Structure 1
Amino acid sequence: MLRFTTTAGLFLILSAGMCHADDVPWLTEVTTPSGISLPSVPSAFLKKADGTPITTLEEWKPVREQIRAQWLDFLGPLPSAKEPLTVKAEKTEDLAKCTRTLIRYEAEPGRMVRAYLLKPKGVTASGRFPGLVVFHSTTRETIDAVAGKGSKPEQGIGLQLAERGFVVVCPANYLWEQSSYGEAAAATKKRHPESLGMTTMLADGMRAVDVLLQQTEVDPHRVGTIGHSLGAKEALYLMAFDDRVLAGVSSEGGMSLHSSNWEAEWYLGRQILNPGFARTHAELAALIAPRPFLVLGGEAGSGCADGERSWPPLKVGQQVTAFYGQPVRMGLLNHHQGHQLTPESAEKAFEFLEYALRSDPQVSPQ
């Protein structure tokens, strides 16, 4: 059975402060909104019953558990996973800097998932590498694209990250298990009538973390995630609900519930459009805090999901980080080049993950 873990006891190992020598040198640029005004009044859930702001970790913890429970109730039960996890290797390629293996494993009873597992060559001082779940975007090439086997080499971020020293798993999204997204969503709903399409994506992401942690080469305290577009949505939810994931990058997924197609039946459904819908992604940012989390935006017109409008939920995450007395490592890099993961922003994302998941990890579950 897949289980949610809790970050109520998460503590950062580093001392407090806004920027450290072991952070990316451009951290302040992405954690500080520029040229926009943000509300100074805390979100409603960052206030106590008497209306005064929450200011301490002790005050925040029970609120965090309440928000988490409300989201789990909305998402519905996670699909069960068969234990123990059995990973079947189908084909291994020996590349210049890593190996790339096509694998299959059971995400839930009777349902197999395809993925690529990439492992860097060489050794490290500790004998272990950081691990990453790399989600693919909306493309017919699915896992081939991110694993470096697709028609656009620049999309092969999984391969690129393996070449930089990460053990990478690239899982296939369930939307390609049927002939259309609608049919895939309907099949998922038939299996799990009380759960949302996003719930299966989340469960599949957690199962991919299981695959990573099964690899002896992976340091369990240095696991992260990254994704673009569809994959960015998966990275956001995986970080919010799986505390084994200690850092993440979400590129053009939509931090606001109304800045992308979150209402699609394969995500959260049209109920999020109802007046008075209570859940917000500011709550997800709060659940992610205080872990390092970078949003990449390309807002330069229509079709973009992230940009300056992504700041309000991120600012909430920053406020929650303060309860832990820790440096802020949650922010936005807006490249203004549309709905894409540009080579320049990808390089920044890789650098961010390298710093966040270095050999002396920033975040450790207690």
Structure 2
Amino acid sequence: MAVCCFGRSEAEEKVSRKRSEPSAINSSWDDLLEGIDTPEDWVAHKKTLRKRYLELIRDQFKPEKPDLQIQFHDTVIVDGIYRRQLISYQVENDERAHAYVGVPLYLRGPAPGVVALHGTYKQGKERAAGLVENPDKAYLDHLCRRGYVVIAPDHFVAGHRIPEAGPYDTEAFYKKHPEWTAVGKFTYEHSIAIDVLQTMKEVNPEKIGVIGHSLGGHGSMFLAAYDDRIQAAAGNCSASFFRQNSKVEAWSRDRWYVYFKHIRPDLLNGDLPPIDFHEIMALIAPRAFLDLSGLNDGDPLTQRQRVLMLLKVMDVYELEQAPQNFAFFVHGKGHSVAHESRELMYGWLDTHLKPSTATKTKLVKP
């Protein structure tokens, strides 16, 4: 008997595999379209999901939207390419938000506007502007150089508005608004940032996008689901969802940053909210949404469930006849905004917010 150089026989080396047809992939996320057979069924169900979403963030407890009363505090020209301004504006009658706004200097007409959301960092807008810490997360600087008008607001417990208890402590917020949620608060404020963009003559009000990483990543999803003025969104390394999550109670901590205070008793009792991330993402359809995540960002089993969840979201986009408007990218670089992730996010915005000529290829002249 002939023996191969690794000590195994030819018979042992032969692997027998038979042709097979693809089988359906079933998962816990299939309830997204359970009982939905037609586009009309989905339109009706989508209204139910939106109601559940607004109840989750307790949108009914938001305050009346005040006049913006925009103030300009300083202006800097960056590398002769764009103008960066520190501004502030009203978000409640007794609260002003601060943000950096970047405007390219040589626009030929109104440009797309982007809300750039920072992660959990105390000097959020400064990092988004490329002034401190990690330049990988300098979205305002990167996008202004690509021809976008960008607003990078501080999260409501960061930057100019750090509470006495410290960055990202929501205790004072819940004393002021005991029935609201932190997610409702920041989503509402990010919607007001869109209002600011739409006051600017340099912005095409019909071409608004949002991007973010980490806290800003799921903030992008929450905003796009909340405000249909968002035409393109990209969320990077967003938080884990409710189901298939062994640490789900982190969504309702009893200290520091509390996303949803009111759901804590149910979570501790093992009961989840009546809506989850796949259903919130589906509210964005048919508008453009890109999800980026790391398989090794937190619990690997949970992140693998994310892939199954996203497959089901694609089913909704297909039902909406807009599969080209949904995509996801899964990598192994942990909780990062690596080069390839940034290029995908920025390219996604180019595709969905800029004229087709901006991304069109052409042949080389002879």
Deviation track 1:28-54 (CA, whole Å, cap 9, x = no partner) reads xxxxxxxx9842787335233xxxxx1
- Aligned mates of 2:101, 2:286 — CA distance in 1: 29
Give 3-state SS (helix, strand or coil) of 1:86's partner.
coil
**Does the alignment pair 1:188 with 2:183?**
no
**Does the alignment pair 1:310 with 2:306?**
yes
CA, structure 1 residues 280+130, in 2 after alignment: closer, same or farther (shift >3 Å)? Answer: same
Residue type matched to 1:87 in 2?
I
- Aligned mates of 2:176, 2:221 — CA distance in 1: 24
CA, structure 1 residues 180+232, in 2 after alignment: closer, same or farther (shift >3 Å)? Answer: farther
Q: Give the gaps of 5 or more residues in structure 2.
A: 1-22, 358-366
Q: Which residue of 1 aligns with 2:67?
A: 84
Q: Which residue of 2 aligns with 1:263?
A: 252
Q: Which residue of 1 aligns with 2:115?
A: 133
CA, structure 1 residues 191+358, in 2 after alignment: closer, same or farther (shift >3 Å)? Answer: same
Give 3-state SS (helix, strand or coil) of 2:157's partner.
helix
**Does the alignment pair 1:254 with 2:239?**
yes
- Aligned mates of 1:147, 1:325 — CA distance in 2: 37
Q: Which residue of 2 aligns with 1:147?
A: 129
Higher relative contact order (CA 8 A, sep 6+): 1
Q: Which range is displaced more, 177-186 or 228-237?
A: 177-186
Deviation track 1:245-282 (CA, whole Å, cap 9, x = no partner) reads 01111111125233774334521243562423222111
**Does the alignment pair 1:323 with 2:319?**
yes
- Aligned mates of 2:74, 2:198 — CA distance in 1: 20
Q: Which residue of 1 aligns with 2:204?
A: 219
Q: Which range is displaced more, 81-90 or 106-115?
A: 81-90
Q: Which residue of 1 aligns with 2:34?
A: 47
Q: Which residue of 2 aligns with 1:229?
A: 214
Asked whether the equivalents of residues 187 and 222 of structure 2 are also in contact (C-alpha less than 8 Å), the reply is: yes
- Aligned mates of 1:145, 1:167 — CA distance in 2: 17
Q: Which range is displaced more, 275-284 or 310-319?
A: 310-319
Q: Which residue of 1 aligns with 2:95?
A: 111
Q: Which one has the bigger helix percentage?
A: 2
Residue type matched to 1:358 in 2?
K
Q: Which range is displaced more, 188-197 or 253-262?
A: 253-262
- Aligned mates of 1:355, 1:301 — CA distance in 2: 27
Residue type matched to 1:300 in 2?
N
- Aligned mates of 2:196, 2:49 — CA distance in 1: 28
Asked whether the equivalents of residues 303 and 339 of structure 1 are also in contact (C-alpha less than 8 Å), the reply is: no
Asked whether the equivalents of residues 133 and 209 of structure 1 are also in contact (C-alpha less than 8 Å), the reply is: yes
Higher gyration radius (CA): 2
CA, structure 1 residues 160+42, in 2 after alignment: closer, same or farther (shift >3 Å)? Answer: closer
Q: Which residue of 1 aligns with 2:189?
A: 204
Q: Which residue of 2 aligns with 1:123?
A: 107
Residue from 22, 37, 40 that aligns with 1:58: 40
Asked whether the equivalents of residues 285 and 313 of structure 1 are also in contact (C-alpha less than 8 Å), the reply is: no
Residue type matched to 2:251 in 1?
W
Give 3-state SS (helix, strand or coil) of 2:143's partner.
helix
Question: Sequence identity, in percent?
Answer: 27
Q: Which residue of 1 aligns with 2:271?
A: 276
Give 3-state SS (helix, strand or coil) of 1:247's partner.
strand
Asked whether the equivalents of residues 314 and 330 of structure 1 are also in contact (C-alpha less than 8 Å), the reply is: no
Asked whether the equivalents of residues 72 and 88 of structure 2 are also in contact (C-alpha less than 8 Å), the reply is: yes
Q: Which range is displaced more, 270-279 or 344-353?
A: 270-279
TM-score norm. by structure 2 comes to 0.80
Deviation track 1:76-114 (CA, whole Å, cap 9, x = no partner) reads 125225443221110010112110000000111100111
Give 3-state SS (helix, strand or coil) of 1:231's partner.
helix
State the superposition RMSD in angstroms: 2.7
- Aligned mates of 1:173, 1:145 — CA distance in 2: 12
Deviation track 1:129-162 (CA, whole Å, cap 9, x = no partner) reads 0010001111122110011111332221111101
Give 3-state SS (helix, strand or coil) of 1:174's partner.
coil
Q: Which residue of 2 aligns with 1:339?
A: 335
CA, structure 1 residues 122+241, in 2 after alignment: closer, same or farther (shift >3 Å)? Answer: same
Asked whether the equivalents of residues 82 and 108 of structure 1 are also in contact (C-alpha less than 8 Å), the reply is: yes
Give the drift of 1:183.
7.5
Pairs aligned (count): 320
Asked whether the equivalents of residues 70 and 87 of structure 2 are also in contact (C-alpha less than 8 Å), the reply is: yes
Give the drift of 1:305.
11
Residue from 47, 53, 69 that aligns with 1:71: 53
